[in-house]
Amino acid sequence: MSDILYHPGPDGRNSPSGRLLPAGEPILCVAATSEPPATLIRASGEIDMSSAHLLVDMVELIAAHPAPQVALDLSEVTFFGAHGVSALLRARHLVTCAGGVLTLAAVSSTVRRILGVTGVDQLLGVHTPPIRWEVLGPSVAADRTAH
C-alpha cells in the first residue's frame, strides 16, 4: 500500500466563498491510497482554477501504470466549478487511454449538482448509492472507514 499527498501552500487568497484562507492552509488536499490493482484518490477542499491540476496530476501518476482502476472520493469537496469538470474529464481520458477504469465512488452535494447540471454525471457514472468500498480491496476499504 502506498500513500501520496498533494496540496498547494498558498500565501492566502480569497476563496469563492468569500473567506480569506490563512497562509499555508491548503485550498485542496489530494491523497491516494493504493491496494493493487485499485487506487482510491480522495480530494477535500476546493477544486477551482488554481487547484484542479492537482487532481489531474495525481491521476496522471496512477495512469502511468497499465490498466489502472481508479476510484475518486469527492465527498469532501466544498467548491466545484468548470475547472473541476474539466479535471474530471481529463482524468477519465488519462485512465481510459491507459486501458483502465475511472469511477466516482463518492461525491459531495456540490459536486453532484454541478455534474448533474452539465450532464457529466451520466458520462462519468456517478454512483447512487455510492460504490461499496470493499470492491477496492481490504486496505482501501479499511482506510476509508478510518476517516
Please give the CATH architecture assigned to the domain spanning 29-145: 2-Layer Sandwich (3.30)
**Beta-carbon neighbour count of residue 76 at 10 Å?**
15
Helix (H) / strand (E) element for 93: namely helix 82-97
Angle between helices 109-118 and 82-97 (to 10 degrees): 80
Which residue(s) pair with 40 in the sheet? 33, 71
Instruction: Report the pLDDT value the prediction gives residue 116, as an integer from 0 to 100.
Output: 92
Cα separation, 51 vs 42, whole angstroms: 14
All three cell numbers of 84: 473541476
Q: What local confidence, expressed as pLDDT, does residue 19 receive?
A: 46
Largest CA distance in the chain: 42
Q: What is the pLDDT along the chain (147 residues), one digit of tens a residue?
A: 445 454 444 444 433 444 444 556 789 999 999 987 799 999 999 999 999 999 999 999 999 988 999 999 999 999 999 999 999 999 999 999 999 999 999 999 999 999 999 999 988 877 555 555 555 555 555 555 554
